[in-house]
């Protein structure tokens, strides 16, 4: 069973701080990785996609991928109360069309 | 505007009844997916379809059925065999296996 693991949290950070969210995966052949944000009662919305080792930055968000260690992380700089949500990590299982989701990390940004 | 439309937003099922959740997309995506989300849980894959007239079971397909007669449409039927159907159901699509998924707004299903 291919798995994606996330700490469920809640992760609490003060406003303006950096929030660091982590995800590990078991399928060594996976090539595509995604971070989604989900507000309570709403559907997930894409934040970042990453395919190569290293960092990818988009505004206040940076995704980091390390395939050798099988982890992907998301950094949120200058965290705002509006960033308070559950963050889902998704990995495409190798050789398939299946996206495997972690259970999500709940982030609370304290004003 | 391109997107994924799920209907209805809320649905109530009586004992022994089958209900169908609608999912339509105008993004011209080949692949479509159905997920179930229970409170405080991640997304669990029910069924997915890579192309028209073809679909595969996901991790929790028992008690559910789907069809893919048109590229734009991927309806999900929750049958009476699904004994615990209360959940948030999400439909998604993607252009291909390494592209991000786009989600509809979801259907919340409850038992009467």
Q: What is the pLDDT of residues A43-92, one digit of tens each?
A: 999 999 999 999 999 999 999 999 999 999 999 999 999 999 999 999 99
**What per-residue confidence (pLDDT) applies to B97?**
81
Has residue B25 got a pLDDT over 90? yes
**Contact criterion met (CB < 8 Å) for B45 and A88:** no
φ/ψ of residue A83, rounded to 5: -80, -10
Contact A104 B101 (CB under 8 A): no
Question: Which residues in chain B (70-109) have CB-CB distances under 8 A to chain A?
Answer: 90, 92, 94, 97-106
pLDDT confidence bin for B2, thresholds 50/70/90:
confident
pLDDT band at B81 (very low <50, low <70, confident <90, very high): confident
pLDDT top residue among B69 and B112: B69
In Å, how far from its chain's centre is CA A90? 7
CA distances from A69 to A65, B18, B104 (A): 9, 45, 33
Kindly report the nearest CA distance between residue B81 and chain A, in angstroms: 25
Beta bridge partners of A99: A92
Q: Is the pLDDT of residue B1 over 70?
A: no
Residue A1 has pLDDT above 70, yes or no: no
| Residue pair A79/A109 in contact by the 8 Å Cβ criterion | yes
Residue B9 has pLDDT above 70, yes or no: yes
Q: Cβ A103–B31 below 8 Å, yes or no?
A: no
Please name which of A7, A6, A12, A8 lies closest in space to residue A84, comparing C-alpha atoms. A12
What are the chain A neighbours of B5 within 8 Å (beta carbons)?
Answer: none
Average pLDDT over residues B83-108: 94
| Yes or no, beta carbons of B50 and A102 under 8 Å apart | no
Taking a contact as any Cβ pair under 8 Å apart, which residues of chain B between 3 and 22 contact chain A? Answer: none
């Amino acid at each position: 069973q291919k798995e994606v693991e996330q700490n469920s949290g809640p992760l609490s950070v003060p406003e303006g701080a950096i929030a660091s969210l982590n995800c590990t995966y078991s399928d060594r052949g996976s090539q595509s990785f995604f971070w989604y944000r989900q507000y309570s009662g709403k559907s997930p919305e894409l934040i970042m996609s990453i395919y190569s080792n290293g960092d990818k930055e988009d505004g206040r968000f940076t995704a980091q991928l390390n395939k050798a260690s099988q982890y992907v992380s998301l950094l949120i700089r200058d965290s705002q109360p509006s960033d308070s949500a559950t963050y889902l990590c998704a990995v495409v299982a190798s050789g398939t069309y299946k996206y495997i989701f972690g259970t999500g990390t709940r982030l609370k940004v304290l004003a | 505007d391109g997107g994924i439309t799920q209907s209805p937003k809320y649905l109530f099922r009586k004992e022994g009844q089958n209900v169908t959740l609608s999912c339509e997309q105008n993004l011209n995506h080949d692949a479509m997916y159905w997920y179930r989300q229970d409170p405080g849980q991640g997304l669990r894959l029910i069924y997915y379809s890579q192309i028209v007239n073809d679909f595969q079971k996901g991790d929790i397909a028992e008690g559910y059925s789907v069809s893919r007669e048109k590229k734009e449409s991927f309806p999900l039927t929750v049958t009476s065999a699904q004994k615990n159907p209360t959940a948030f159901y999400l439909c998604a699509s993607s252009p291909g296996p390494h592209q991000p998924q786009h989600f509809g707004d979801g259907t919340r299903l409850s038992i009467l």
